[in-house]
A and B are shown apart, each in its own frame.
Chain A
Amino acid sequence: MANSDPIHVGVLFSTSGATATIERSQAFATFFAISEINAAGGIHGRELVPIYYDPQGIPRQYQAFAERMIRDDKVNVIFGCYMSSTRKAVIPVVEKWRKLLFYPTPYEGFEFSPHVIYTGAAPNQNSAQLADYMTRHFGARIYLVGSDYIYPYESNRIMSDFILEVPGGKKLAERYLPLDATEKDFIPIVRDIKAKAPDFVFSTVVGKATRMLYQAYADIGMDAAKIPIASLTTCEAEVAEMGRRIAAGHITSAPYFQSIGSERNQACLRNFRQQFGDEIEPNMCWEAAYFQAQLFAEAMREAGDDSYEALLPRLLGREYQALQGRVAINPANHHTRLNPRLGRVNEQGMFDIIAESAAGGVTPDPYLVTHTGEEWNSLQYLPETMHG
């Protein structure tokens, strides 16, 4: 067998459907990483070739395309999935064929598959930090609003649990909307928020509906400086969609923001824009998709092979200098050590980083139920750049 054979890898993100904006950014981050890997000589001279299908946000299509990639296109590795329902649909396929899924999205935890590498934040790497910061700076009377699926339920459970431990903590309401909610669905919710006047709103609304929530919130005259919306998923992509005037002042917890000042990050963003233009806004999920493909390439160079058996030992424990800082795959749970940060949208539509974890980041603990103080005591509160 000639060792100049191209290596097919699967790329399984939706470029249509409710979550297309973020998933498109994940797909292009993967293509970007692959083009960089190939420009640097590929894997020992072998070219990486992405096999891409659009599953349109529908779980059974993720499953069918994963099956097709493995069976017909002979891929050993798939980079993909955003919503938990789509990941759950792909896992049985990669387990059955003994392949590997790289999953670059924050999710609700309580999962381990030996055939998945998780590179997005577990709750102890984003929820805990957000809950702590928001209750310290705004108060603990909260209003919860989310999309109607598992990630919001579990995120809200963690947030509620945390809030109820804080003196004066109170959950004023917990509302869910369908993923395909329309603008008018948000009107009664923002009215209710205004009437109940919480200390902050915790939103786990994802996808297209995100813009509608923030829009309706601004339209009814809510002031983000006084009562911000705190989120685990609202990122640069959504901010660009909704416009910076609507987004300014709201807060997001994520390991990565475009505004990270390192030369490496800024150079990488320039390269990406040169190659793919301004249409895609890099964000936390983009960054995870980018570094997981790079990390895969390093592991495969060492292994010389992308079969599951050869690759896995080279991945577990592997460290990588990502745009967010140093990350490492935890060998025990296959999740990734990440660098939690909190960002607040500024007048330019970028995130001012208002807090970040101590150097070294936070070890993933996907089965953690009670988020006690220790995880976020390591947060260093930076001088705030907005509103004093």
Chain B
Amino acid sequence: MASNGKRSARQRSTLDLFRSLRNARIAIFHPKDENRDILVQQLQRIGCQTVTLWPPLAELPENTDIVFFLLNAEASAKKKLPWLNPASAIPLIGIVEYENPTILDTATSLGCHGILVSPVHTNGILSTLIMAIHHCQEIKALNKRNQRLEQKLQAANQISAAQTILARTRNISAIEAYKAMREQAMLKRVTIEEIARAILHADGILHS
């Protein structure tokens, strides 16, 4: 049952990706040629809004949802574009001429979410888009979750350390120490993590 529910939720979200594509604003940094024409025409068939620009801008056009950009050795050697980095919040899709280690290494280190290989063909553009958006969203969600877990873990360590200090200094059990911390948190209307940090801080001062 649970797995069924999960599966249908996931299917739904693939459809949501398609829906969001319908009015997505896509910036394309690529000189005018047949590759760019094929890309723009297919994106318009899919229902996206496109803006083509060359050379690349340092600032993305306002409200850009997705970026396609020509990725070649010359381009990557030039000064860095601020939006082209692994922390990008929007999908970045490189268009490459060579599928060689140099170019693909550049693509991964720049944080590309997807690649199109020229000559660009209408087949594959939609799949690349969907996978790039999906992976970009997954990475964002996982990063957020990771951050939350790190904070939680740190807090748990601090609570545990504070508990030990309190138990030792007051000569009470660890459970009683935890209770005392929680009471203080309620009384002062702060989180137990803050109480723990205060205890650790005080202990640090006493021992320095």
A-side residues, CB < 8 A to B, are 110, 112-114, 161, 332-333, 365-370
Contacts and interface: CB of A to CB of B under 8 A. Distances in A.
A278 B45 CA distance: 41
B48 to A, nearest CB: 9
B47 interface: yes
A161 B8 CA distance: 12
B19 A370 contact: yes
Given A114-B122, A161-B15, A366 B22 contact: no
Nearest to B17: A369
Contacts of B126: 110, 367
A112 B42 contact: yes
Contacts of A113: 122-123
B15 A369 contact: yes
A367 B15 contact: no
A163 to B, nearest CB: 14
5 contacts: A113-B122, A332-B41, A333-B45, A367-B45, A368-B47
A28 B99 CA distance: 48
A44 B16 CA distance: 52
B83 interface: no
B128 to A, nearest CB: 14
Contacts of B46: 367
Contacts of B41: 332
A366 B47 contact: no
- Interface of chain A: mostly helix, strand, loop or mixed: loop
A370 B122 contact: no
Contacts of B123: 113
Interface string B117-135: 0000011001000000000
B207 to A, nearest CB: 63
Given A332-B44, A368-B47, A112 B18 contact: no
Interface in B3-37: 15, 18-19, 21-22
A370 B45 contact: no
A367 B47 CA distance: 7
Contact of A112 (B19, B21, B22, B45): B45
**Interface band, chain B:** 10 to 19
Nearest to A334: B45
5 closest Cβ pairs, A-B complex: A369-B18, A367-B46, A333-B45, A112-B122, A370-B19
A332 B44 CA distance: 8
B9 to A, nearest CB: 13
Interface in B129-172: none
Contacts of A369: 15, 18-19, 21-22
A114 B122 CA distance: 8
Nearest to A114: B122
A110 B44 CA distance: 13
Nearest to B11: A157
Interface in B49-73: none
Contacts of A367: 45-47, 126
Given A112-B122, A114-B122, A161-B15, A370 B42 contact: no
Contacts of A161: 15
Given A112-B42, A113-B122, A367-B45, 8 more contacts: A112-B45, A114-B122, A332-B41, A333-B45, A365-B47, A367-B126, A370-B19, A370-B22
A110 B15 CA distance: 13
A161 B22 CA distance: 16
A333 B122 CA distance: 11
A370 B47 CA distance: 12
Nearest to A369: B18
Contacts of B122: 112-114
Nearest to A367: B46
A297 B132 CA distance: 43
Contacts of A365: 47
A369 B126 CA distance: 13
A161 B21 CA distance: 17
A193 B113 CA distance: 46
A332 B38 CA distance: 11
A306 to B, nearest CB: 23
B120 to A, nearest CB: 12
Which of B21, B46, B47 gathers the greatest number of chain A CB atoms within 10 Å? B46
Which of B18, B45, B46, B123 gathers the greatest number of chain A CB atoms within 10 Å? B45
A157 to B, nearest CB: 8
B134 to A, nearest CB: 15
A114 B22 CA distance: 21
B165 to A, nearest CB: 56
B110 to A, nearest CB: 29
A133 B122 CA distance: 34
Which of A113, A332, A368, A369 gathers the greatest number of chain B CB atoms within 10 Å? A369
A365 B126 CA distance: 15
A386 to B, nearest CB: 36
A366 B122 CA distance: 14
B129 to A, nearest CB: 11
Nearest to A333: B45
A244 to B, nearest CB: 39
A235 B113 CA distance: 46
A311 B127 CA distance: 30
A112 B43 CA distance: 11
A220 to B, nearest CB: 30
